[in-house]
Amino acid sequence: MEVILAKHAGFCFGVKRATHLAFDAADRRGDTYTLGPIIHSPQVVQRLEEMGVKSVENVSDIDNGSTVIIRSHGVAAEELEAAVRANLEIVDATCPFVKKAQEHVATLSSEGYDVVVVGDAVHPEVQGIVSYATGRVYVVSSGKDVERLPRMAKMGVVAQTTQSFEHLNEVVAACLARGGETRVYNTICDATAVRQEETKKLAGEVDCMIVIGGFNSANTRRLTQICRELLPRTHHIETAGQIDPAWFEGVQRVGVTAGASTPKWLIDEVTERISAIDRDKIG
């Protein structure tokens, strides 16, 4: 059985950086906290917990003088300010691409633009980005949403980093159709699109797909959905222990991919387990 691993399976740049900073902070052994889980990987969160890193919901749950790690998709401006006021040591693991989107929103607001954020209003990244506006700000998820917004003389558009380019385009077209001045910042990060394209191609070339990543990870679930549309023999797992050898009956080629918050050690364990199942079959 041939096992083909997608080239970009696993950590994107921002998650790799955040995880590295988190393990580094944990190593220093002071009281260390994250505001919400650092990434959508229960196994990474558990490893950090074992090293003494606690995940809390609010800055008020953290003792003064402790260290707080800001997760890769950022937090609201007020939370960051609260951390400074509480005299916490801040390890800012916000992905630089998310930070850019936050900065554009702050600049647009200060220059008198009403801000339109293209994204999912309940996603923490979007809630963080929105919090940097000092004037009017709206979250939209389609061109139709733009038609319902109040009159605006100057509109500034930014996108949640994981949005598709087509989606941003649709919203920008709707903004332009309303007239007035429109300034657009393309804040999309291509890590998501690259993983999705690659996964789609791989699913078309194999008999069975294994997608690794947190069941709570939206980007992993999306990869699973893309595969399943092409290949019903697609399985979403978090760990190697969840693999059922029966999945590989009659399979010549198995494709493996992983979401942007899946660490390399989990991917390695899965590919090793598949190879061991194959060896058992032959032996």
Which of 2, 49, 79, 125 is an active site residue? Answer: 125
Minimal CB distance residue for ligand F3S:
14
Is 69 an interacting residue with respect to ligand F3S (CB under 6 A)?
no
Q: DSSP 3-state assignment of 16?
A: helix
Q: What are phi and psi of 79, to 5 degrees?
A: -65, -40
Sheet holding 89-92, edge to edge: 53-56, 32-35, 67-70, 89-92
The residue assigned the tokens 């083909």 is 4
Residue 189 annotated as part of some ligand binding site: yes
23 binds ligand F3S (CB under 6 A): no
Can you tell me the distance from the alpha carbon of 153 to that of 17, in angstroms, rounded to the nearest whole number?
39
Nearer to ligand F3S, 162 or 224 (CB): 162
| 49 included as an active-site residue | no
- Is 161 annotated to bind ligand? yes
Task: Considering only the C-alpha atoms of the chain, give the largest distance between any 2 of them, rounded to a whole number of Å.
Answer: 72
Q: Which of 260, 248, 157, 159 is nearest to 207 (CA)?
A: 248
Nearer to ligand F3S, 111 or 190 (CB): 190
Examine residue 48 and tell whether it contacts ligand F3S (CB under 6 A): no
Contacts with ligand F3S by CB under 6 A: the residue count is 14
Provide the minimum distance between the beta carbon of 44 and ligand F3S in the complex, in angstroms, as a whole number: 14
Alpha helices in 28-86 (DSSP H): 42-50, 77-85
* Under rule CB under 6 A, residue 160 binds ligand F3S: no
The footprint of ligand F3S (CB under 6 A) covers 12-15, 72, 95, 97-98, 161-162, 189, 191-192, 260
The catalytic residue positions are 125
